[in-house]
């Protein structure tokens, strides 16, 4: 692969993009003077842009998605074969890959039982929200409709998902939001000094107790569910501290509150286990997933729940409206589950969960070494190959660096041919965490190349 591209086509593509594409999550002013970046090809851990420049992708397609790397022939073939056989049928009927992927997935999720296919991660979350609301009507006389979500967590871009959004910068100017979504505090050890009354010791339990306080304030008979990311992604790569998850589970049980874990980022291997929640011994009622499910080879997202929840929606002559009256058009696409089956087989056969743990440890060690060298690195955190490094202007006060400087580090790495990420327009004044999520196939050399690039960039940007 040399990454070359036909120059004539290239200028046409750039002009078509400049003229017609509304890109996600970025401002377009720079394209008045600079060309938009077009990613032309990918192979393994690397992608090539329109100029033929090679980049080591340390963010799996930008947003934690291409977990098994680019150019996987076996996934493409599985998708091709399936599309030739049957591309689509609405999911009120079944399909071969839909059923077989569900069976394979549930094998990896003890306690879970039913898979509901959707169009996107946002929508998967909304399916769970709708189920919580319907359960409130069916079982609790219209009470228990409230859904708790956490400061700094993100659950998607649609309006109800944003109503459960703990990132104020993402939400600004898009309100009013749906009622009945209630915020609980974050559980970020590194920034606990910003939370009133947070203790030095046992912060994890204290942070979970703050959720109980909100439940008691709202009234336990009004709260139906608690929705959490297992490791907060765009809100700053935040792993909950020791003691947190156990208390969360106890609180949900005590107040009969359904636990919804949003695995849109962590799901299917990113943290070194199939799902992030499996690191913490939690038993969820809903699990939602999207990005890594088929590593981006085909669009697929789903909401997974228990047989107990499913049973609540069974036929009941006294309540003919009581089943889940919902549909997602592209939940009937067969390319997604066909790709997802092959994606999972690759993870198993190539032992990628173990590689994720080993390479995650290596990268954590490398980033910790950078912390020794560059005082601007205030904290290194995360799980598996889902890591962050928070940049601070002052280690003692933990004052974040100006986010333009964090972006300058990303730009410097890009110039070196390494694509890293940074928290982006999420929490006001707190978009200062560099993000790393290389594919699970990363080698020791890849990891070292990424952290060497960061080392050089930190030196140039901060001196």
Which residue's CB is nearer to ligand PLP, number 48 or number 154? 154
Residue with tokens 């060298």: 373
Residue 262 binds ligand PLP (CB under 6 A): yes
Contact 423, 432 (CB under 8 A): yes
Contacts (Cβ under 8 Å, ≥6 apart) of 125: 155, 156, 161, 164, 227, 260, 262, 264, 288, 303
Q: Which two tokens stand for residue 387?
A: 């890591």
Residue 154 binds ligand PLP (CB under 6 A): yes
Contacts (Cβ under 8 Å, ≥6 apart) of 254: none
Which residue number is nearest to ligand PLP in terms of Cβ? 121
Residue 430 binds ligand PLP (CB under 6 A): no
Q: What is the CA radius of gyration of the chain?
A: 22
Which residue's CB is nearer to ligand PLP, number 258 or number 453? 258
Identify which range of 101-109, 152-160, 318-326, 435-443 contacts ligand PLP by CB under 6 A. 152-160
Q: How far apart are CA 261 and CA 255, in angstroms?
A: 17
Question: In the set 43, 76, 100, 157, which binds ligand PLP (CB under 6 A)?
Answer: 157
Q: Is cis: bond before 124, omega within 30 of 0?
A: no
Question: In the set 66, 258, 290, 387, which binds ligand PLP (CB under 6 A)?
Answer: 290
Q: Give the CA distances from residue 278 to residues 157, 261, 272, in Å, rounded to whole numbers and listed in that order.
A: 26, 11, 10
Identify which range of 30-38, 148-156, 410-418, 444-452 contacts ligand PLP by CB under 6 A. 148-156
Contact 360, 383 (CB under 8 A): yes
Q: How far is the CB of 85 from ligand PLP (least distance, A)?
A: 26
Q: How far is the CB of 9 from ligand PLP (least distance, A)?
A: 30
Q: Give the CA distances from residue 193 to residues 203, 320, 396, 397, 429, in Å, rounded to whole numbers and listed in that order.
A: 11, 52, 11, 9, 16
Identify which range of 236-244, 262-270, 426-434, 444-452 contacts ligand PLP by CB under 6 A. 262-270
Contact 150, 165 (CB under 8 A): no
Question: In the set 122, 279, 416, 431, which binds ligand PLP (CB under 6 A)?
Answer: 122
Residues 213-242 that bind ligand PLP (CB under 6 A): 229, 233-234
Q: How far is the CB of 291 from ligand PLP (least distance, A)?
A: 7
Q: How far is the CB of 351 from ligand PLP (least distance, A)?
A: 26
Residue 407 binds ligand PLP (CB under 6 A): no
Which residue's CB is nearer to ligand PLP, number 156 or number 284? 156
Residue 294 binds ligand PLP (CB under 6 A): no
Phi and psi at 36, nearest 5°, equal -65, 150
Q: How far is the CB of 6 from ligand PLP (least distance, A)?
A: 32
Residue 149 binds ligand PLP (CB under 6 A): no
Q: With CB under 6 A, what is the number of residues at the site for ligand PLP? A: 17
Residue 155 binds ligand PLP (CB under 6 A): yes
Residue 120 binds ligand PLP (CB under 6 A): yes
Residue 264 binds ligand PLP (CB under 6 A): yes
Q: How far is the CB of 63 from ligand PLP (least distance, A)?
A: 6
- Helix, strand, coil % over all residues of the chain, rounded to 5: 45, 15, 40
The C-alpha torsion from 343 through 348 and 351 to 354, rounded to 10°, is: 90
Contact 416, 53 (CB under 8 A): no
Site residues (vs ligand PLP, CB under 6 A): 63, 120-122, 125, 154-157, 229, 233-234, 262, 264-265, 290, 301
């Amino acid at each position: 692969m040399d990454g070359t591209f036909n120059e004539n086509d290239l200028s046409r593509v750039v002009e078509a993009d400049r003229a017609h594409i509304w890109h996600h999550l970025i401002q377009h002013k720079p394209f008045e003077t600079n060309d938009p970046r077009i990613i032309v090809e990918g192979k393994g851990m690397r992608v090539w842009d329109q100029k033929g420049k090679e980049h080591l992708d340390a963010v799996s397609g930008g947003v934690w998605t291409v977990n098994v790397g680019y150019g996987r022939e076996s996934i493409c073939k599985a998708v091709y074969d399936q599309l030739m056989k049957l591309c689509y049928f609405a999911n009120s009927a079944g399909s071969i890959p839909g059923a077989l992927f569900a069976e394979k997935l549930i094998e990896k999720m003890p306690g879970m039982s039913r898979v509901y296919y959707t169009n996107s991660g946002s929508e998967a979350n909304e399916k769970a929200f709708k189920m919580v609301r319907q359960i409130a009507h069916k079982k609790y006389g219209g009470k228990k409709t409230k859904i708790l979500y956490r400061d700094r967590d993100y659950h998607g871009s649609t309006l109800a998902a944003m109503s459960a959004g703990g990132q104020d910068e993402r939400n600004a100017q898009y309100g009013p939001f749906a009622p009945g979504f209630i915020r609980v505090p974050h559980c970020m050890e590194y920034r606990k000094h910003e939370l009133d009354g947070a203790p030095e010791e046992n912060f994890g339990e204290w942070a979970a107790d703050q959720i109980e306080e909100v439940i008691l304030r709202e009234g336990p008979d009004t709260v139906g569910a608690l929705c959490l990311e297992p490791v907060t992604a765009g809100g700053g790569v935040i792993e909950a501290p020791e003691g947190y998850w156990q208390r969360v589970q106890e609180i949900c049980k005590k107040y009969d509150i359904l636990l919804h874990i949003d695995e849109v980022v962590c799901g299917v291997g990113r943290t070194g286990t199939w799902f992030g929640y499996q690191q913490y011994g939690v038993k969820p009622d809903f699990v939602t997933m999207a990005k890594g499910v088929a590593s981006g080879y085909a669009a697929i997202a789903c909401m997974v729940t228990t047989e107990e929840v499913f049973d609540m929606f069974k036929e009941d002559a006294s309540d003919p409206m009581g089943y889940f009256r919902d549909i997602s058009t592209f939940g009937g696409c067969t390319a997604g589950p066909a790709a997802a089956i092959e994606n999972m087989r690759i993870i198993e056969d190539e032992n990628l969960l173990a590689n994720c743990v080993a390479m995650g440890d290596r990268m954590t060690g490398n980033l910790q070494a950078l912390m020794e060298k560059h005082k601007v690195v205030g904290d290194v955190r995360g799980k598996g190959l889902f890591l962050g490094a928070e940049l601070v202007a002052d280690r003692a006060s933990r004052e974040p660096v100006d986010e333009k400087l964090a972006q300058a580090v990303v730009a410097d790495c890009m110039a070196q041919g390494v694509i890293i990420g940074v928290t982006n327009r999420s929490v006001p004044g707190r978009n200062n965490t560099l993000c790393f999520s290389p594919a699970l196939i990363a080698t020791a050399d890849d990891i070292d190349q990424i952290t060497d690039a960061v080392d050089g960039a930190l030196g140039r940007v901060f001196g």
